[in-house]
Amino acid sequence: MEQAFEEKCMKLALQEAKKAGEKGEIPIGAILIKGNKILAKGHNRCIEFNDPTAHAEILVLRKAGAVLKNYRLNGTVMYVTVEPCPMCVSAMVHSRISRLVFGAPEPKFGAVESKFNLLQGEGLNHKIEVKKGVLAKECAEVLKDFFNKRRNERKIGRSSENKVKRILNAI
C-alpha cells in the first residue's frame, strides 16, 4: 500500500493515542479502515471505563462491528500505534480483519513478533497480513513523552519506565 496513505492513517491513530495520554491513559491509539473509509477510531480507555479490556484495538473492533452491523470485519485494515498484546491480536483474528499495520514494537507484551508470534503457525484459520514500523519513532515518542511527563508530576513505578526504555531500545 502507498506509504503516504499508510502514514496518514497512522497519524490519525497517533492523534487518538494523544487523546488517551491527555486523559492519563497509556497513550495508544488505533483506527480501522475499509478502502479509503474510516470505520472507527479509538484509544486506550481502561481507566475511564474501569475495564482492563478497553484497549484501543478492542474498542475499534467493537465500533466497526456496530457500523458494519457484522461481527466479521473482512477486508478491513487496523492501524495501531504500538504492537498489539495477545488479547488484541486474538480479537483481530476472531474479527477477520485483513491487515494489521503497527508503529512501535512492544517487547514485553507484543504478540505479533516481539514476545509472542500469535499470527504465525499452521493452526490459524485466518491469516492477517502484517506491516510494522510505520511512524515507529513518532509512536514511541508519544509513549516516552507521556511517561516523562508523568514522572515529573509524581513518582511512578519502575515498570512503566522500563516499558518505555524497552520500546525505545527496540526501534
Active site residues: 57
Which of 33, 77, 80, 85 forms a contact with Zn ion (CB under 5 A)? 85
132 Rama sector, left if φ>0, alpha if ψ -120 to 50, beta otherwise? beta
Distances (CA, A) of 6 to 1, 22, 122, 163, 171: 7, 25, 29, 26, 19
Nearer to Zn ion, 5 or 146 (CB): 146
Residue 24: all three cell numbers together: 492519563
Nearer to Zn ion, 53 or 162 (CB): 53
| DSSP 3-state of 29 | strand
Q: x/- site string to Zn ion, residues 103 to 142, per CB under 5 A?
A: ----------------------------------------
Q: How far apart are the first and last CA of the chain?
A: 22
Options 71-79, 86-94, 119-127, 141-149: segment touching Zn ion (CB under 5 A): 86-94
Options 8-16, 53-61, 71-79, 121-129: segment touching Zn ion (CB under 5 A): 53-61
Which of 59, 64, 82, 88 forms a contact with Zn ion (CB under 5 A)? 88
Nearer to Zn ion, 19 or 55 (CB): 55
Residue 29: all three cell numbers together: 491509539
Picking from 97, 107, 27, 86, the residue whose alpha carbon sits closest to that of residue 62 is 97
Which residues would be at the binding site for Zn ion (CB under 5 A)?
55, 85, 87-88
